[in-house]
Chain A
Amino acid sequence: MMRMNLVLLVGLVLSALYLVNVQYESRHLFSELDRARALAHKLEVENERLQVEKRAQATSARIESLAKSRLHMRAANPAITTYVTYTPSAADASDARAPANPLSVGRVK
């Protein structure tokens, strides 16, 4: 009887210590998780910021002024455009897989 009690007591003490340990672990992991979440949010914000910056660098106004001043280009007009008729063929089966608009932006959720 006595030995049984001793075993139980040791078991209880060990279990109690283990509980403390688990609690500590859980808080530790939780704070890790929290930090990871914060980082994810920060990166998301950074992504959004870079998207906007990219867009700001690629506005029509900027492109037009650069194309005109630095590259000496001029706006296209029908007189200098060759129009081809578009016929769907096997060739665009491969094109179809490419994203429709490579510049399209998506918000990371």
Chain B
Amino acid sequence: MSRSITYNSSPLLASPTPVWRSKFIVAAIALAFVGLAGRAVYIQVIENDFFQRQGEVRFARTLALPANRGRILDRNGVILASSIPVPSIWAIPEDVDRDPANLKKLAKLLGMSLVDLNKKLHDEDKTFVWLKRQVDESAGKEIEALKIKGVYQRKEYKRQYPEGEAAAHVVGFTNVEDLGQEGMELTFNTELGGRNGSRRVIKDRMGRVVEAVGEQIAPVDGRDLQLSIDSKVQFFAYQTLKEAVLLHKAKAGSVVVLDVQTGEVLALANYPSYVPDKRQNLSGEQLRNRALTDSFEPGSTMKPFIIGLAMDTGRVTAQTAIQTAPGRMSIGNSTISDSHPHSMLSVTEVIQKSSNVGTVKIAMQMPAREMWEMFSSVGFGQKPQVPFPGAVSGRLRPYKNWRPIEQATMSYGYGLSVSLMQLAHAYTVFGREGDLVPLSMLKVSVPLVGQPVFKGKVARDVRHMLHLVTGPGGTAPKAQTMGYSVGGKTGTAHKQEGRGYASKRYRGVFAGLAPIDAPRIAVAVMIDEPSNGKYFGGDTAAPVFSKTVQQTLRVLGIAPDMTVVPQVVSELVEESF
């Protein structure tokens, strides 16, 4: 195949150009390659990290995966609070298209004046301005339809409270950042709030995610919180309370409904209240969860505890006769009197007629320490174990400094203070076999063992006395309710004003149990400063108790324990011509 011709040396091929030129070209190209290789080494090895980073900045993005805040549910799974993403409107002032007609429409949709809107857009140096956070879904859509340049939307979680003002004090609310500010939202903020996750992705130039890089940190949603509240009971309690406060032209009112068997709070309502979604003009009056943050002198509602203690220690029985004539007695320089003088009363009647003199006579037989211990064991002077922000402990002074007159006044509810929640809780002692179970705002599923306070028989006897209070000859016949037997005790206390008592300002209280033979609920009602003529607890608070008991027992599906005359028309009688 090969012939021995040496082409290289053929004279025909001898180039007229000098050899060094081709060598120079080769050398130059080689040098260029070396340059390239050097650059490659520089990029790939020496400054690799820097270029990697720069590249990633251009296409990799870290996306936040927002966690849902847990919902708040009532005992039956009804939503009391839930977070929904809603549009928030923001703008880049510099880019905003300042067409007056469009801006006017925008201002209207945002619910602000054009002047305010222009003020927000005034500062052109800013690159980000919230126009309005958390607007309605429909308004968001309309704003989007306006297509104003430089105005954008972002989804933010907003808390929704379907039950509105009825459950406002229990549930509380969150701020614009979805963090709890009041009520259960604040108490269980950590549990409700989840942990945001994140993931790293590669996006193409259209902004589409094309690849996930590395590990994804999954968001942890907040836990749903199931309260012990029953939304129906809560509503009825709020409704009746509101009606009563308005009827009696009172300053405020509270009602607490407890499940006697489990210590669960079925309802906790205060009036005035507020709508959690609209908090623009909130006053402290509306915000106050009075049932827990206000303590007051409980007045006569304390008497059953004194009688209970006296019977428990065997000092008296239900039939022991007490002389209360002439309706007044002196202790030291002070005089204690009954509003209506009675003569000889049995212990049962002392409760039924709410005799101060009778109660004091029984109380003075007991050492201060025993009274103090009993008050403490039913929870007075201690913070209730409900996890509410701002719950007060009330006032119960140590027994060592009690003067006799103080011990006497305390027996009928002056000189110590309790919150309505504490009062309702204490009354569950009579509803049970004399023991006290802890309160709970969350649904209780396990059976509870209570701390004994009184003997079972004492609790039953006191229950009977409480029943008589609501019967004929008692102080609170208005507490009766159709179909269910009830029992309770009224209290009417002068309000404290500075160091003394206001003569014309009262607080009507009623605390009671139903059905009285086998109590299921304890209800406490407080009406603050009724000023429409009636002020006795039996006239102001007892009717609220009656209606609340009626509705609560019906909602809980408890059959009436008293016979009622049925008004049911079971058969249609044909009319005759």
Contact = CB atoms under 8 A, between A and B. Distances in A.
Interface of A: 26-28, 30-31, 34-35, 45, 48-49, 51-52, 55-56, 59-61, 64, 75-83, 101, 103-105, 107
Nearest to B73: A105
B386 interface: no
Interface of B: 71, 76-79, 82, 84-85, 137, 160, 162-164, 166, 201, 204, 208-212, 224, 231-232, 235-236, 239, 482-484, 550-551, 554, 559-560, 564-568, 570
A103 B570 CA distance: 31
Contact of A101 (B76, B85, B137, B224): B76
A55 B71 CA distance: 13
B483 A59 contact: no
B533 to A, nearest CB: 27
A42 to B, nearest CB: 9
A30 B209 contact: yes
Contact of B566 (A55, A76, A79): A79
A9 to B, nearest CB: 24
Contacts of A82: 566, 568, 570
Contact of B560 (A34, A61, A78, A103): A78
B568 A80 contact: yes
A80 to B, nearest CB: 5
Contact of B84 (A26, A30, A52, A75): A52
Contact of A61 (B85, B201, B204, B239): B239
22 contacts: A27-B210, A31-B204, A31-B208, A31-B209, A31-B210, A34-B209, A48-B82, A48-B84, A49-B84, A51-B79, A52-B82, A55-B162, A59-B231, A60-B231, A77-B483, A78-B482, A79-B482, A79-B567, A81-B568, A101-B77, A103-B78, A104-B76
Contacts of A56: 160, 162
A31 B78 CA distance: 38
Given A31-B209, A77-B550, A79-B567, 7 more contacts: A31-B208, A51-B82, A56-B162, A61-B163, A77-B482, A82-B570, A105-B79
Contacts of A28: 210
B360 to A, nearest CB: 40
B84 A45 contact: yes
A34 B209 CA distance: 7
A61 B565 contact: no
A103 B76 CA distance: 10
Contacts of B204: 27, 31
B144 to A, nearest CB: 15
Contacts of A81: 568
Contacts of B208: 31, 34-35
Given A48-B84, A105-B77, A30 B551 contact: no
A101 B75 CA distance: 13
A55 B79 CA distance: 7
Contacts of B137: 49
Nearest to B157: A45
Contacts of A103: 78
